[in-house]
Amino acid sequence: MDVTDRIAKTFHMDDEAWRRHANPWSVWTRFAAVPALLVAIWSRTWIGWWSLLPIGVVVAWLFVNPRAFPPVEHPESWASRGIYGERVWLRDRDRVPPDHRAVLRLLVLLGLVAFGLIVWGLVALRVWPTVFGATVLILAQLWRIDRFTRLWENARPGAAGGAGAATR
């Protein structure tokens, strides 16, 4: 079991949760949670220990989010196809072409660097590493979703060489 499997288990991501998470509202509100979390953490300088309240609200939202929206049975939007593609990747990594795997590894590395910048910026109360790290993190995540969208397009039922059984 690797990190992504552990994250999926932490969030209790069953098939229904994945279909709900594929709702574009779920995807885009999770992106909106990034700056909200950064401001909530930064707010410790303004409101002290009370900052735990907005931090807790954002973290709670991140746990509730995958179940908060109606399920998507047939992904049509870019975001929905990306989440369905992520599910294919998690279920059967052997079906992922080598070029996708290489890019996904690069994006994980970019995400780790971005996370490090965010932590540094939040600890040191420096704006530039916080904002730059968040920007890199979001761009890497968007690129990751795009790769998963391509994976879904190649693996969906009815696609040439599709992996329809792997997505159900």
Contact assessment for residue 21 and residue 74, using Cβ atoms and an 8 Å cutoff:
no
Instruction: Copy the structure tokens of residue 1.
Output: 């079991």
> How many other C-beta atoms can be found within 10 angstroms of the C-beta atom of residue 100?
18
Contacts (Cβ under 8 Å, ≥6 apart) of 46: none
> How many other C-beta atoms can be found within 10 angstroms of the C-beta atom of residue 151?
24
pLDDT at 130 > cutoff 50: yes
In single-letter form, the type of residue at position 63 comes to F
Residue, of 38 and 166, whose pLDDT is higher: 38
DSSP 8-state code for residue 61: H
Determine the pLDDT at residue 5.
Answer: 61
Contacts (Cβ under 8 Å, ≥6 apart) of 45: 125
Whole-angstrom Cα distance, residue 139 to residue 116? 15
Contact assessment for residue 115 and residue 133, using Cβ atoms and an 8 Å cutoff:
yes
Determine the pLDDT at residue 158.
Answer: 65
Instruction: Copy the structure tokens of residue 25.
Output: 């509202």
pLDDT-based confidence at residue 7 (cuts at 50, 70, 90): low
Task: Give me the residue label for tokens 């970019």.
Answer: 110
Determine the pLDDT at residue 108.
Answer: 92
pLDDT at 1 > cutoff 80: no
For residue range 73-103, list pLDDT tens digits in order: 999 999 999 999 998 888 877 778 888 888 9
pLDDT at 10 > cutoff 80: no
Q: What is the average pLDDT value for the chain, to the nearest integer?
A: 87
Whole-angstrom Cα distance, residue 72 to residue 83? 10
pLDDT at 36 > cutoff 60: yes
Contacts (Cβ under 8 Å, ≥6 apart) of 73: 19
**Angle CA(72)–CA(8)–CA(10) in degrees, nearest 5?**
125
Determine the pLDDT at residue 168.
Answer: 38
